[in-house]
Amino acid sequence: MRSQEQGRGGGRNDLPSLPSYGAARPPGLEYIMGGCGIAGTIDVSGGKMSGEVISRMLTTMRERENGLGSGYSAYGLFPEDLKDLYCLQFFFDDENAMCCVEEYLKDRGDIVKDERVPTRKVPSMRPPYPIVWRYFFQPDPLSSSYLIKGQGPDECVVDVVMGINNGIPNAMCVSSGKDMAVFKGNGYSYEVAEFYELGRYSAQMWLSHSRFPTNTPGWWAGAHPISLLDWSVCHNGEITSYGVNKKLVEMHGYKCSLLTDTEVVTYLWDLLVRRHNLPPQVAAFALAPRYHDEIERMDPKSRALAEQLRITYKEAFLNGPFSILVGRGQPDITMIAMADRKKLRPLLFGRSADNKRLFAASEECAVRIVEEDAETWVGDPGSPMIASVGKGLIRNGTEAPFKGVL
Amino acid sequence: MNAPAHASLDDKERVFDRIIPDKFRPIIDRNACLNCKRCVKECSFGALEWKDDRVVYKGGCVACQRCSAMCPARCIEIATVPSGLPPHASYTERVRQGINAQASSGGVLLCSCGTDMPYGMIFDDLILDAAQVTNPSIDPLREQVETRTYVGRRSSRVMLSGDGYVTESDGSGPVVAMDMPIMFGHISLGAVSYNCQRSLFQAAKDLNILAGSGEGGLHADFLQFADHINGEVASGRFGVTPEYLRRTAAVEIKVGQGAKPGHGGHLPGEKVSDLISQTRMIPLGTDALSPYPHHDIYSIEDLQQLIAALKESVEYRVPVGVKIAAVHNVAAIASGVVRAGADFITIDGFRGGTGSTPRVIRDHAGLPIEVATAVVDKRLNEEGLRNRVTVCAGGSIRSAADMIKVIALGADVAMVCTSALIAMGCQVCQSCHRGLCAWGIATQRPELTSRLDPEIGARRVTRLFHAWNEELKEVMGAMGIDAVESLVGNRDRLRYFGPNQKIAEVMGVKHVGEGWG
Ligand code: SF4
Ligand code: SF4
């Protein structure tokens, strides 16, 4: 793994000595300037890649971090017997929080297996480190402890995550999907990779993020990716419509507890795609809609849908600069990568010569370092690149908005 | 009708009237005056007369500025007459005048325009945000910043079918697209002149926004603007014909009005001219009374029935809304109105203007629109209804800044009346109820009405709102927001800089100096 010099241009000693937090919500907010790096890769043929690949991609964009946070999500990494269970991965600040969560879970389903997530002490990382633990969980929709009895298992898990993250102190559920997990914390990207020994995992898709949310203090649970169910989102940017987006997700029962705009982005994907059943490219349009004058020039069918999306989902519109990497595990492992409609944040796509591996990153160097001969291109503003295991590249990010849907 | 005994004054008593001094007085520069008598002709309030070969002041100036504006020698200045009354902090001049006026008339004091009481404007205590560095600002001269706004009921969900899309069955309704988040409130023909209403409608068409018809139907000449008219259905139902409902772009039930919550409309018989009698379909010279309540609405269920009946009448082609006055329990009322099926809801704050209202109501009843908008938005959010309905808010939107702030507090659309009238010449003299408006705005007298050229009126209002819309784009760009939908209810973009932190809490706005989170 990398040495500490990797954090050039903002080494540990240059940082203001801000307190660091584990799973407990920090008391106040701080503003830390800096860049943001995102990187993701997917093997659409179903092959697996070591966690070292993604950490190389991310750590090479060293200017884009400040040592306050980084994270990775891995999809398609668990063995057959655990794949279909929800993997609830947690940060705990103390044993008491852990006991409370276990009681909470037992009231709502079965803990089929639980284990400590292997971690290694990294001397340069600033304490405290939370306890990282995972539970393979099977919800019992008939449990009377749910807000609504008899709902689908996904809804039960959302209920569990919202319940714990908002109700149990010193505990934070950081990922809750099937056959996926999120590894994140306070530190530089190379430190976080080392902390979790990412090299021990191989997965079909990896997403990653370096640096910390611009408007929040350093705390472990607040680092990206932000995840709910099998969604995980890495985000570079600042959502100026946050207040509006938050209200929409709250109207649909999501509770925001992570102090970051990325959280609402995650919930919006869950709302629009899982709950409202929109294809990802249609949801992407709702999040970064085309301009009205562009919509007016569309063919009648696309225009009707585009207008309806702008009207219906106006609170879902993510305004401000962003580029996001979105991962989803069900029904197929899928990567969605897109930038805002003015393309105020960088995002570049890449494909390996054998067409098996696809990449998305803030900078070209992130792709080149792992695939020297990759073909690279940029997508249109607001237009998603979508790739999925088994289906290959579904959209390269330059097509008409509803291609393949209408 | 016999005048009540207490209203008649004998000459001995009339002396008391004289202790109400004039507040304004024209001062004529005698050296410059051309003796053209123009000002005498222009003063519709009869404050000037020609006597002994010169213009003399009789009394009763309302500071409408008409004489000075029209004087070819520019030799008239309207001065504020200092109060000669002994000073008193509680029994102010205003209070004493009110007492005297009522001691003489025995009646309810009438007034026009929004309240002139010195309540602080909460708008002025709110500060806007601007983007820096990580969230870059946008220059609207180079980049698109969108202000298109839809009015109507929204489905909270779009579903894709093989051949297109469907929206959730119970929630979708027709919508009207406007080019900017502004609409004219309801200013009725009767309260204002034909030329004034024509100016407003023409401006609405030119700006591609909606204009309220006001109570009393639509004059046949104005059917050409029907695509931009939001037709009002008040309790009197004057002028509400199948054609009116069929042609207008939206229909709005008036339950309340900000300047007079709990009050209906009253157009005195003297104002019911031929024109008004035809439009409202009432006999010439009779009072047009829209009583306080709709006599078929005593509950939310009743309101629901009227909304349903109107939707049926318009064949579900145009949105049906409800206008309520901002009152203390406005959030709960708004929730009921939305549940009753309103496609849009208009909240009118207590500083809203009017052509005539009891002064006691205008000055003392209701809720500022800033607070009302914020609490309605919050309540509708909590109840999961906000993304179904369009919220319009008005009642003292004086500038683009007010419009931006009311949007950030939770309104989709800012409703504006008085500012549009000011653009046409209104001096806010608060004398509309007398029907003598010297600018041809709030009057039905043909000789006065003709003073307002509808072409010029429309042009001035169009320019005003166009300018506001440009300012909206500038501010949104500065905030790093490129479409107005992302400003609606975005209270993060506001901070409170006023004396009463409780107001900020109720509105859900942080104090200046507080960051995110
Ligand atoms: S025209 Fe207006 S300002 Fe002039 S004297 Fe008459 S009321 Fe006063
Ligand atoms: S409309 Fe006319 S009468 Fe009314 S306040 Fe304005 S200038 Fe005065």
B40-57 pLDDT, tens digit each = 999 999 999 999 999 999
Under 8 Å CB-to-CB from B219, ≥6 apart: which residues? B189, B194, B197, B275, B278, B279
For A:289-318, CB contacts with B below 8 A are 289, 291-293, 301, 304-305, 308-315, 317
In the prediction, which pLDDT does B500 show?
94
* pLDDT average, residue stretch A385-404: 94
pLDDT at B3: 43
The average confidence (pLDDT) of chain B is 91
> Catalytic positions of A, please?
36
Query: Measured from the CA of B113, which atom of ligand 2 is nearest?
Result: 5
pLDDT at B15 over 90: no
What spacing in Å lies between the alpha carbon of B50 and ligand 1's midpoint? 14
Which residues, at least 6 apart from A40, have a Cβ–Cβ distance to it below 8 Å? Answer: A54, A205, A206, A207, A208, A234, A325, A327, A335, A337, A359, A360, A361
Q: What is the pLDDT averaged over residues B436-459?
A: 95
Q: Residues A156, A158, A164, CA angle at the centre, nearest 5°?
A: 100
CB B233 within 8 A of CB B256: no
Here the ipTM equals 0.89
Q: Mind telling me how many Å the CA of A195 is from chain B's nearest CA?
A: 29
Of A238, A315, A317, the CB nearest to B135: A238
Nearest CA to ligand 1 atom 4: B67
What average pLDDT does the segment B279-305 reach?
85
CA-based nearest residue to B225, from B189, B253, B263: B189
In this predicted structure, what is the pLDDT of residue A216? 63
**What are the phi and psi torsion angles at A373 (to 5°)?**
-95, 15
Sign of the Cα torsion A357, A361, A363, A369 reads: negative
The percentage of chain B sitting over the pLDDT mark of 90, rounded to a whole number, equals: 72
> Is the minimum CB–CB distance between A276 and chain B shorter than 8 Å?
yes
The type of residue at B126 is L
- Ligand 1, atom 7, residue with closest C-alpha: B61
Query: B175 to chain A: which residues are within 8 Å by CB?
Result: 311
Mean pLDDT score, B295-299: 85
Lowest mean pLDDT across A90-104, B141-155, B269-283, B446-460: B269-283
Split at pLDDT 50, 70, 90, the class of B280 is: confident
pLDDT of residue B281: 81
Mean pLDDT of A197-203: 94
Q: What is the pLDDT of residue A30?
A: 52
**Top mean-pLDDT range of A311-320, B102-111, B257-266:** A311-320
Within 8 A of B491 by CB-CB distance, chain A residues are 243
Note the pLDDT of residue A4: 40
Confidence of residue A27 (pLDDT cuts 50, 70, 90): low
Q: Are A243 and B133 a contacting pair at CB < 8 A?
A: no
CB contact under 8 A, A315 and B135: no
Average pLDDT over residues A269-294: 96
Residues of A in contact with B133 (CB under 8 A): 33
**Contacts (Cβ under 8 Å, ≥6 apart) of A330:** A177, A178, A229, A230
Mean pLDDT in residue range B106-135: 92
pLDDT tens-digit readout, B488-499: 999 999 999 999
Are B154 and A311 within 8 A, CB to CB? yes
**pLDDT higher than 80, residue A16:** no
- Say how many C-beta atoms besides its own lie within 10 A of residue A373's C-beta: 8
Residue type present at position B105: S
Does ligand 1 come within 6 angstroms of the Cβ of B64?
Answer: yes
Task: Place A252 in a pLDDT band, splitting at 50, 70 and 90.
Answer: very high
Asked if residues A223 and A185 have their Cβ atoms less than 8 Å apart, the reply is yes
B269-278 mean pLDDT: 81
pLDDT at A394: 95
Q: pLDDT at position A291, please? A: 96
The model's confidence at residue A3, banded by pLDDT at 50, 70 and 90, is: very low
Q: What tokens does A93 get?
A: 């600040």
- Asked which of A272-276, A393-397, B8-12 is least confident by mean pLDDT, the reply is B8-12
CB distance B43 to ligand 1 below 6 Å: yes
- Give the burial string for A148-169 (b: 16+ CB within 10 Å, else e): eeeeebbbbbbbbbbbbbeebe
DSSP H helices, A318-376, are 364-368
Over range B326-343, report the average pLDDT: 96
Tokens of B334: 């708004």
DSSP letter, residue A291: P
Q: What single string gives the DSSP state of each residue in B114-176? A: S--S-PPPGGGGEEE----TTS----TTTS--B--EEEE---S-EEEETTEEEE-TTT---EE
Check pLDDT > 60 for residue B484: yes
pLDDT digits (tens, 9 = 90+) for B361-402: 999 999 999 999 999 999 999 999 999 999 999 999 999 999
Q: Which of B144, B160, B479, B492 to mutate to test the interface with A (most CBs of A within 10 A)?
A: B160
Residue A76 has pLDDT above 50, yes or no: yes
Cα gap B501→B513, rounded to integer Å: 13
Q: Tell me what the mean pLDDT of segment A352-376 comes to.
A: 94
Tell me which DSSP letter residue A151 carries: -
Ligand 1 centroid from CA B48, angstroms? 8
* pLDDT at A67 (0 to 100): 77
In the predicted structure, residue B258 carries a pLDDT above the cut 70: yes
Would you call A247 an interface residue with chain B, using a CB distance cutoff of 8 Å? yes
Which chain B residues contact residue A344 at CB under 8 A?
Answer: 136
Phi and psi torsions of B452, nearest 5°? -100, 115
Q: Which of A241, A252, A292 sits opposite B146 (nearest CB)?
A: A292
> H/E/C letters for each residue in B181-197?
CEEEEECCECCECHHHH
Name the one residue in this structure whose structure tokens are 């402890």: A145
Phi-psi domain of B22 (left: phi exceeds 0; alpha: psi -120 through 50; beta: other): beta
Residue A331: name the closest of A22, A14, A75 by CA. A75
Residue A306 has pLDDT above 60, yes or no: yes
> Long-range pairs for B46-55 at CB < 8 Å and ≥24 separation?
B54/B30, B55/B28
CA distance A110 to A97: 18
Residue corresponding to tokens 């690279």: A376
Spatial neighbors of B60 by CB under 8 A, at least 6 apart, are B22, B45, B46, B47
